[in-house]
Amino acid sequence: MSEHPDCALIRRGYEAFGKGDLETLGTLMTADVIHHVPGNNVLSGHHKGREAVLDLYRRLGEETNGTYRVRLENVMVDGRGHAISVHVAQGDRGDRGIEIHEGLFFTIVGGKITDIDQCTQDIDESDAFWA
């Protein structure tokens, strides 16, 4: 049984993110993509446009001195242009560390990511880490 194309797209994105290959990652998104980050911290908000989203991903590395990593656990699709991924995010920032489950809800149009809604296992823990 072959993998659904939307699953394959999300897996390619995670692979590129893990390698720090933002050029490839950018090709998987529309120019007007939006990544919504929950909480009340330095990364929270609506990052609008491919460059703004890629800047968010650069900041994850900068803010953690390159220690930020995600380990993909699962990708699920509905066959109608939506995918959900679950991963564990890890990193160190100053004297704090984090290891937390997160989920991303993707909207996919024409084989490209148009919208990413981020959810976290514990908003308070996430806010304290990124404060």
Which amino acid belongs to residue 24?
T
Instruction: Detail the DSSP E strand segments found in 41-122.
Output: 45-48, 69-77, 82-93, 96-109, 112-120
pLDDT tens across 88-117, in order?
999 999 999 999 999 999 999 999 999 999
| Residue in the block written with tokens 């148009």 | 114
Cβ contact 60:68 at 8 Å: yes
Architecture of the domain defined by 5-130 = Roll (3.10)
Q: How far apart are CA 68 and CA 59, in angstroms?
A: 10
> Furthest-apart CA pair in the chain: how many Å?
46
pLDDT per residue as tens digits for the range 12-62 = 999 999 999 999 999 999 999 999 999 999 999 999 999 999 999 999 999
- Would the CA dihedral through 113, 59, 129, 41 be positive or negative? negative
What would the pLDDT profile of 68-85 be if each residue is shown by its tens digit?
A: 999 999 999 999 999 999
What's the pTM value of the predicted model, to 2 decimals? Answer: 0.95
Residue 30 CA to residue 109 CA, distance in Å, equals: 9
